[in-house]
């Protein structure tokens, strides 16, 4: 039977199988939770004009964060247009995927993909539809760098060291530079290593003290801490990230070699746990999120063997500080990796009895010194905030049931009280500017050490992200309740929607400032996720409220935010695209 002719007019409007991608962008991207059941809803493209080019929803896959174009290029070419359409909407079975490295995208492939997509855009960059298309394409490209499968070639470590037993430490001055970067720039809210002790170990290693090499976990801690400082040095001194990442790979491999020597020891020691958490931090900075998730799971289980989540009063000040610091570092990493990857949390709040106090005892203050004692205040503020993030995930996005509107409203009200309590207990220095009780705070007249500025930026971004998680459900409900073909609402019906948009705009401003800051790159993995979620929220807001009074300001801010967001992506896809944009014109 002959296949009926297909209209040649390009159309970007189609049903999304099995659910609308815009829903994935809003309902799933901000929290990273895998969907429990299909959500059937007409794509927001049907709320736009049918002849123009509909909104391409934020994700090409069902929150798999994979490249549809890359998959389509690898699929066999179908002889008919009907078969081609089927191939376009169907992923290969997971069991049929090979574990070999995929072919690296070529410049020609990027150019062909860009030309094909731009061919259907003819209404001009000033049109509403093209702006939404541009934003959704940005989210699609960013999403390709985020992991959804375990065995990716980006997760592997290039073995540039050769025989691991022949690893040579970098020069002493370089090693000290790495550790200084670790303590002053890279590790502002994960504090569980004592600076004086760490540098003392460094000096013993470079003085060829054979006794220190009898403790493999101690050497692993040193190497992993140097690796974290090495890769973050690209941010601190505006160096090429690729070069620093390659150097940190050497330290990661060497540290793993020493850590492997502790596998036969039971019960695990605190140093083994600290080394494993440091390895997780290094893998996060290197964009090996799946590997980091696995490493963190190992650290959590090792810690649970020795009861690290429980308060122990019989230890000395050094061990007590390390226990508290490494546990809350694991806790924060657990929440962020869970929300980014859409996987369950490994640490339950019900099991925790160890405190995270702001008031340290005299012995601990003497041990830390005056500046590190103040740094601890930022650690506590960040840890308590991530605890609210975890509560938001469990209360608003439970995997076992679907909340009714009333139950969701009650949960949000409880979370608002928790957040208000956090604001009351947190020093005003760490609160967002609009939350500070005094306008023109006195710290504007003083030179603030860089580590406190980094803490302030980190906690402020996390605060806005927490509010997005709390309030975006109201925006989603209004989007779901709007019937295609009916007039779009002019303004939000709920104050919580306005709160959600305001916090998304705050993160967008952070991203806009990043665009002109040479110190930001791919090591800021949590900031990249925050910006992704904020742009997703603003995308859906613009698609739903066509006549919003603040539409022009939001569009302008989103444009700037996307520029800054690209600096936080270090995937191969974006590096290829930058080469294409910056290089000379290709021959015809």
The string of DSSP codes covering 132-155 is: HHHHHHHHHHHHTTS--SS--GGG
The domain locations on the chain are 166-426, 447-562
Q: Each residue of 160-187: pLDDT tens digit? A: 444 445 678 999 999 999 999 999 999 9
At 476, list the tokens. 């989603």
Give 402: exposed, middle or buried? Use CB within 10 Å, 0-12, 13-18, 19+: exposed
DSSP states along 512-570: HHHTT-TT--TT-HHHHHHHHHHHHHHHHHHHH-TT-TTHHHHHHHHHHHHHHHHHT--
- Most distant CA atoms of the chain, gap in Å: 87
Helices 551-567 and 525-544, axial angle in degrees (round to 10): 150
Q: What are the two backbone dihedrals, phi and then psi, of residue 331, each rounded to the nearest 5 degrees? A: -60, -50
Of all residues in the chain, what percent carry a pLDDT higher than 90? 39
At 24, list the tokens. 């994935």
Q: What is the mean pLDDT of residues 458-466?
A: 95
Residue 107 or 484, more confident: 484
Q: With left for phi above 0 and alpha for psi between -120 and 50, is residue 287 left, alpha or beta?
A: left
In whole angstroms, what is the distance from residue 520 CA to residue 77 CA? 41
Q: Each residue of 338-379: pLDDT tens digit? A: 998 888 999 999 999 998 888 888 888 888 999 999 999 999
pLDDT for res 145: 56
The owner of tokens 């101690």 is 218
Q: Each residue of 521-534: pLDDT tens digit? A: 778 888 888 988 99
pLDDT for res 261: 92
Residues 468, 507 contacting (CB under 8 angstroms): yes
Q: Which residues contact 487 (CB under 8 A, 6 or more apart)?
A: none
Q: How confident is the model at residue 493 (pLDDT cuts 50, 70, 90)?
A: confident
pLDDT for res 445: 58
Of all residues in the chain, what percent carry a pLDDT higher than 70? 66
Q: Which residues contact 57 (CB under 8 A, 6 or more apart)?
A: 16, 20, 21, 22, 24, 25, 43, 44, 45, 136
Q: Which long-range contacts (CB under 8 A, 24 or more apart) does 485-493 make?
A: 485/46, 485/47, 488/47, 488/544, 488/545, 488/546, 488/547, 489/544, 489/545, 490/545, 490/547, 490/548, 491/545, 491/548, 491/549, 492/545
Strand, helix or coil for residue 239: coil
Q: Each residue of 371-419: pLDDT tens digit? A: 999 999 999 999 999 999 999 999 998 888 888 888 999 999 999 999 9
The owner of tokens 């806005």 is 464
**Cis previous bond, 64, omega within 30:** no
DSSP states along 155-185: GS----S-SGGG--PPPHHHHHHHHHHIIII
State pTM to two decimals.
Answer: 0.75
In whole angstroms, what is the distance from residue 128 CA to residue 134 CA? 10
In whole angstroms, what is the distance from residue 273 CA to residue 138 CA? 38
Q: What is the mean pLDDT of residues 319-323?
A: 91
Whether 206 shows a pLDDT value over 90: the answer reads yes
pLDDT for res 443: 52
Residues 452, 378 contacting (CB under 8 angstroms): yes
**Cis previous bond, 588, omega within 30:** no
Residue 238 or 72, more confident: 238
pLDDT for res 307: 93
pLDDT for res 184: 92
Q: Count the alpha carbons within 13 Å of 338 in the hemisphere toward its beta carbon.
A: 21
Q: How confident is the model at residue 119 (pLDDT cuts 50, 70, 90)?
A: very low
């Amino acid at each position: 039977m002959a296949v009926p002719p297909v209209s040649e007019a390009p159309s970007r409007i189609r049903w999304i199988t099995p659910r609308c991608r815009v829903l994935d962008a809003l309902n799933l991207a901000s929290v990273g939770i895998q969907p429990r059941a299909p959500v059937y809803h007409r794509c927001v493209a049907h709320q736009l004009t049918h002849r123009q080019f509909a909104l391409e929803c934020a994700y090409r896959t069902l929150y798999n964060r994979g490249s549809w174009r890359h998959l389509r290029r690898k699929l066999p070419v179908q002889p008919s247009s009907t078969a081609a359409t089927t191939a376009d909407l169907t992923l290969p079975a997971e069991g049929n995927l090979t574990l070999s490295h995929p072919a690296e995208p070529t410049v020609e492939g990027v150019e062909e993909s860009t030309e094909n997509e731009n061919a259907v855009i003819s209404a001009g960059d000033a049109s509403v539809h093209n702006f939404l298309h541009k934003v959704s394409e940005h989210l699609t490209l960013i999403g390709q760098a985020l992991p959804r499968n375990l065995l990716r070639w980006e997760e592997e470590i290039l073995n540039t060291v050769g025989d691991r037993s022949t690893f040579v430490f970098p020069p002493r001055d370089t090693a000290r530079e790495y550790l200084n970067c670790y303590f002053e720039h890279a590790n502002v809210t994960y504090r569980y290593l004592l600076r004086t002790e760490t540098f003392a170990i460094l000096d013993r290693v470079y003085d060829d003290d054979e006794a220190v090499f009898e403790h493999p976990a101690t050497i692993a801690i040193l190497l992993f801490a140097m690796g974290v400082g090495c890769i973050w040095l690209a941010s601190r001194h505006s160096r090429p990230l690729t070069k620093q990442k390659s150097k940190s790979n050497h330290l990661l491999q060497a540290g793993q070699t020493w850590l492997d020597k502790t596998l036969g020891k039971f019960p695990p020691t605190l140093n083994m746990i600290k080394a494993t958490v440091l390895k997780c931090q290094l893998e996060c900075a290197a964009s090996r999120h799946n590997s980091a998730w696995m490493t963190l799971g190992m650290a959590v289980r090792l810690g649970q063997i020795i009861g690290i989540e429980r308060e122990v009063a019989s230890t000395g000040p050094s061990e007590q500080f390390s226990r508290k610091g490494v546990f809350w570092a694991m806790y924060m990493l657990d929440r962020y990796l869970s929300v980014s990857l859409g996987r369950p949390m490994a640490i339950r709040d019900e099991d925790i009895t160890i405190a995270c106090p702001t008031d340290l005892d005299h012995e601990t203050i003497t041990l830390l010194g005056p500046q590190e004692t103040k740094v601890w205040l930022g650690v506590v503020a960040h840890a308590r905030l991530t605890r609210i993030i975890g509560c938001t995930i469990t209360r608003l996005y439970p995997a076992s049931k679907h909340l009714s509107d009333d139950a969701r409203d009650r949960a949000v009200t409880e979370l608002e009280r928790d957040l208000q309590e956090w604001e009351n207990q947190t020093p005003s220095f760490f609160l967002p500017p609009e939350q500070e009780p005094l306008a023109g705070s006195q710290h504007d007249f003083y030179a603030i050490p860089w580590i406190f500025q980094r803490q302030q930026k980190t906690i402020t971004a996390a605060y806005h992200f927490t509010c997005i998680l709390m309030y975006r459900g109201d925006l989603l409900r209004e989007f779901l309740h709007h019937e295609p073909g009916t007039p779009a609402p002019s303004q939000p019906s709920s104050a919580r929607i306005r709160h959600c948009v305001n916090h998304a705009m705050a993160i967008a401003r952070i991203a806009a400032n990043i665009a002109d800051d040479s110190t930001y790159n791919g090591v800021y993995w949590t900031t990249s996720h925050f910006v992704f979620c904020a742009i997703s929220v603003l995308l859906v807001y613009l698609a739903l409220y066509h006549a919003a009074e603040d539409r022009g300001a939001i569009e302008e801010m989103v444009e700037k935010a996307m520029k800054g967001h690209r600096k936080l992506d270090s995937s191969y896809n974006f590096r290829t695209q930058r080469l294409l944009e910056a290089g000379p014109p290709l021959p015809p």
